Amino acid sequence: MEMVSSSKRVLRKTRSLCPVCMKVVEAEVFVDEEGVVRIRKTCDAHGYFDDTYTFSDYELYKWAEAYANDGDGLKNPRTEGRNGCPFDCGICPNHKSHTVLAIIDVTNRCNLRCPICFANAAAAGYVYEPTKEEIVEILKNFRRNLPVAPPALQFSGGEPTVREDLPELIRAAREVGFTHVEVNTNGIRIARDVEYFRELMEAGMSTVYLQFDGLSDDIYEKVRGLPLLETKLRVLENARKIGFGSIVLVVTLVRGINDHQMGDIIRFALENSDVVRCVNVQPVSITGRIDRESREKMRINTTDFMKLVEEQTNGMISVKDFRPVPSVVPISRAVGALLNKRFVEFTTSPFCGVATFMVKKSDGSWVPITRLSNVDGFFESMKRVCEDVERGRRLRAKLRALLAPRHVQSLTLAKAILSVVRRGSYGALADFMYRVVMIGCMHFMDPYNFDLDRLQRCVIHYGLPDGTIRPFCSYNSIHREPFEKAHSIPYEEWLELRGEGTSS
């Protein structure tokens, strides 16, 4: 790989935010004297800032960059370009990707008061809770996206299960066309009430997106304020009781708090693969005014995640077993070209996240899919399928697609992949996902490491009652607080109207 000189080198120019006033400023992604990739910017009013980039290892940065796949955005953006990115989010015509995962915050109320949370009614002092009618309109708005409507939806918050009409919302999402509906939850209610868990499943819930920060209560006490390990384990047991097999363990990764447990969490997921489908790691975002030295102590990124996994699994999963998210774009494009149908494409920035799939062998051991297949060769075959279709060689394209699973050594896995390529259906994809456990990391941005080039390629979007659709990182960094305040009522007033106690 290319070596880095001892002097600072600019890798590319972008734009970012002043973390104090949120003004858009020019920025550079660069390599410092120690070979660390960083992002720097200067605000006229608040001075100079620089921070470690999400891919801080230069070689990994260049490796990820090679997997970039740009999208073509929405044909029907909801806002115009007036104030410039990221203040036109809605989504504006400058956005380069369409929605892959739609998110709706159904409340900012919660039954916990986590120290690291950015969406809590008690802490914020107001209640943001769209009505059922507003949520249905948001669902319909997402499904109007062109050229392709998102098939996947997440109900988030706050804590969605504090809403008594959550089963109705899940059914509504299914009725308007979402094939995958997940609920982002701390698990408290579905741990305590197995029949409520069953009600959500029968309403059409596809996946439980379970907050899961570790395997010891000291971690939960620090991050969530309570010992919650037993609660998390009970969620898995309740899933078994009702025959629910799709739980994602969502780990908020914090340096010095739970970064020593990455290997243990992965092993736990594999041991519970009858109900666990994925480990999704999210390095903590840093908010508020904080000096560089303190940020460096807290900051943990995608490079760190990949190396921690290799170290703590003793090489069972290595850094080279991961691939950036947009690496899979050729698959959806090839399947779409063969079936004359448009599918969602993960055209996010290559620096947003990475993943691999773990496959269980006949002897009971687990290996990354990269040890059983030439994944890059498969991706290249899918690119050539698209090229053949574009040149009018459909028969050659079909034959190439049928032969593409030759890159996979496992016959069972090859058959599952071939089914996805031939059918292009949610059922075929679900069948594949039930044969593997995904290990992934998505590093969401905060104002210190904000990169507008990344933002414009975001595929995870919030839907809001005003008809706008906003990228994840701009909404949480810029838009959330003013929007929620404008569409909320004071917390104490909400309690009085409902006659409820202060625990919600």
Residue 475 carries which side chain, given as an amino acid letter?
Y
Distance set, CA 296 to CA 39, 126, 149, 448 (Å): 13, 32, 40, 11
Cα 39 to chain centroid, rounded: 22
Res 1: pLDDT: 37
Q: Per-residue pLDDT for 162 more than 50?
A: yes
Asked if residue 48 is part of any domain, the answer here is: yes
Q: What pLDDT does residue 297 have?
A: 81
Buried b (16+ CB within 10 A) or exposed e, 381-408: bbbbbbebbeeeeeeebbebbeebbebb
Q: Looking at 403, 436, 469, which one is the last position of a domain?
A: 436
Per-residue pLDDT, 119: 55
Sheet holding 9-17, edge to edge: 9-17, 24-31, 36-43, 47-57
Which of 51, 66, 81 terminates a domain? The answer is 66
- What the block records as the tokens of 29 is 């992604």
Task: Tell me: pLDDT of 497 over 60.
Answer: yes
Segment 243-274, tens digit of pLDDT: 999 999 999 999 999 999 999 999 999 999 99
pTM of the predicted model over 0.85: yes
Report the pLDDT value the prediction gives residue 65, as an integer from 0 to 100: 97
Question: For residue 377, is it within any domain?
Answer: yes
Q: Is residue 110 part of a domain?
A: no
Instruction: Report pLDDT digits (tens) over 335-372.
Output: 999 999 999 999 999 999 999 999 999 999 999 999 99
Q: What is the mean pLDDT of the chain?
A: 93
The predicted-structure confidence for 7-56, as pLDDT tens digits, reads as follows 579 999 999 999 999 999 999 999 999 999 999 999 999 999 999 999 99
Q: What is the total residue count of the chain?
A: 504
Residues 186-217 have pLDDT tens digits of 999 999 999 999 999 999 999 999 999 999 99
60-66: Cβ within 8 A, 24+ apart: 60/302, 60/303, 60/306, 60/319, 61/11, 61/37, 61/351, 62/1, 62/2, 63/1, 64/324, 64/350, 64/351, 64/354, 65/350, 65/351, 66/350
pLDDT > 70: what percent of the chain?
95
Classify residue 71: in a domain, yes or no: no
pLDDT score of 411: 85
pLDDT at residue 412 in the model: 86
* Residue 383 in domain: yes
Q: Decide if pLDDT at 114 tops 80.
A: no
Q: Is residue 374 part of a domain?
A: yes
Within 13 Å, how many C-alpha atoms sit on residue 258's CB side? 26
Residue recorded with tokens 């596809």: 206
Number of compact structural domains in the chain: 2
- pLDDT tens figures, 405-461: 899 888 888 898 989 988 888 898 888 999 999 999 999 999 999 999 999 999 999
* 424-454: b (≥16 Cβ within 10 Å) or e: beeebbbebbebbbbbbbbbbbbbbbbbbbb
Cβ burial, residue 206 (10 Å; 0-12/13-18/19+): buried
285, part of any domain: no
The answer on pLDDT for 503 being more than 50 is: no
Determine, yes or no, domain membership for 53.
yes
Residue 295 has pLDDT above 90, yes or no: no
Task: Tell me what pLDDT residue 122 has.
Answer: 66
> Which residue among 382, 407, 436 closes a domain?
436
Confidence of residue 143 (pLDDT cuts 50, 70, 90): very high
Q: What is the pLDDT of residue 164?
A: 95
Say what the pLDDT of residue 3 is: 38
**Which residues are CB-neighbours of 471 under 8 A, at least 6 positions away?**
86, 89, 91, 95, 455, 458, 460, 461, 462
What domain range is 377 assigned to? Answer: 314-436
> With the C-alpha atoms ordered 242, 246, 251, 252, is the resulting torsion angle positive or negative?
negative
Q: Which residue has the higher pLDDT, 404 or 185?
A: 185
- Structure confidence at residue 4 (pLDDT): 42
